[in-house]
Amino acid sequence: MPRIQTFFADLSQKAGLADEIIRLSPRRRAAAKPFQLGDVQEQNEVYLDLATGADFTKGGLTGTMVMIFFYMALIGSPALRQEGQVENYFIAFGILFGIAFITLFIEVLLPFPMPVRFNRRTREIYFQDRRKLYHVPWDEAVAWMQQTRQVTQYTGATRMTSLQVLLQRFRQPDEVIALQLSLPMGKTPEIQAMLWEYLRCYMEKGPWFDEQGESLTVSNRDKVLDKRRGNKADLRGDWQICKQDMELGTGTKLGTAFIMLFHIGFYPAALVQDWTTAVARRRAEKRQWHKRVRERCRSDGPTTRLYDQEVEAGLLRDDSDDISEAAAR
């Protein structure tokens, strides 16, 4: 897409980053093997969803309220043995849990942070910010990594690596955005490159592949989604992490006990948050995604790209025109 190519060239030149960024290609291997740190929200034969950071906070308010009211109900349960207090007990906590239900209803109805979607059938990347739909053909995607180092008197030196891809707004190709594919904090270029390789394996080799990037004939969807960071209520996973820390010598039995007690105590909040997030996500899938995206994410949907529709509508000029302009600069 010529506008994206020109935008990237101008961005690199103006920011003075031409020698500091690492450009990634859909056609070139980025790392020795694919890897993702639980960023994949959904993966199937048609599309892969990469969750955004805002997705992990959805349902937090409802979960916290339910947890507080639940423990208050337990503490106040002796009142059930007192004559004349049973009715007051159920009225009081009925009102409190009614407030929690209203909060849940509001959180479900509020717009859900949409993921970044990679469609294998149309070979496009989609992202939607409220009613603004952005896209780019996978084969012409422009992505890059940039490592930065921040030094403060509080944290010392902190390294961050951003992984971004350029998308343009549907039917308004002059509006281009740089979209973060993964949170940069605590990420190294190697980790971000492995995430890009994961996405590349999905788009190029097929929906299912092993840890080395080799194609599989059977689905490993459950294994992939088990790593999803969006699941808060996962006591088994928390216990496995604690066991690994003890085996590596970085954790103690006393520390593990405190950590597990913490997770058990907050389990009601995590459980409600997971359920609220799941309901909001299903609603967003049916109502928030643009109609053209929903159609192209069906197994029997159209395979035409949004970019092709823009060309047919005369919204994009020929590549030769943009190349001539870029050369003239």
- With cut-offs at 50, 70 and 90, classify the pLDDT of residue 326: very low
Distances (CA, A) of 116 to 10, 55, 236, 303: 25, 11, 29, 19
Q: What is the 3-state secondary structure (H, E, C) of 257-313?
A: HHHHHHHHHCHHHHHHHHHHHHHHHHHHHHHCCCHHHHHHCCCCCCCCCHHHHHHHC
pLDDT of the residue at 69: 93
Q: What distance in Å separates the CA atoms of residue 300 and residue 121, rounded to the nearest whole number?
A: 10
The three-state secondary structure class of 233 is coil
Structure confidence at residue 151 (pLDDT)? 66
pLDDT over 60 at 35, yes or no: yes
Selection from 64, 36, 67 nearest residue 229 by Cα: 36
Q: CA–CA separation, 257 vs 238, rounded Å? A: 11
Residue 310, pLDDT above cutoff 70: yes
- pTM assigned to the model: 0.79
pLDDT of residue 3: 66
Winning range, highest mean pLDDT, from 33-37, 155-159, 243-247: 33-37
Q: Which residues contact 59 (CB under 8 A, 6 or more apart)?
A: 104, 107, 272, 273, 274, 275, 276, 277, 280
Structure tokens at 16: 């003075």
Q: Which residues pair with 268 in a beta bridge?
A: none
pLDDT of residue 196: 96
